[in-house]
Amino acid sequence: MNYRVFRMKLKPGCMVEYKKRHDVIWTELEDQFRALGINKYIIFLDEDTDTLFAYQEMGSMKTILPQNMGLMQKWWDYMADLMEVHPNNRPITMPLKEMYCMNCNF
């Protein structure tokens, strides 16, 4: 099993709206994640700092094909008003280094 862990940053005061949008995340976006090999995707929030911590679990990460980027770009555009983003609205992410894992037999 492969996994990826990273952090992102919400703009102040955007927690409620961020949660609301993810509560009704687009089905076609989740379908795209599955097609790309992502089996689990969890996002945690540190409310004191508005920092998001994301965990993605995948059997094998497939290459993101150009035709898949249109839907992802639409999601990034939709979420850009809530998060720190690059000029193309892709969220700014920082990979996190694993320091400990109990019972990890990957």
Q: Please check whether residue 90 is in contact with residue 75, taking contact to mean a CB–CB distance below 8 angstroms.
A: no
Quick one: which of 19, 18, 32, 23 has its CA closest to 70?
32
Give the Å distances, CA to CA, from 26 to 30, 45, 50, 87.
Answer: 7, 20, 23, 23
User: Is residue 86 annotated as a catalytic residue, yes or no?
Assistant: no
Catalytic residue among 1, 2, 19, 22: 22
Q: Facing residues of 9 across strands?
A: 51
* Residues taking part in catalysis: 22
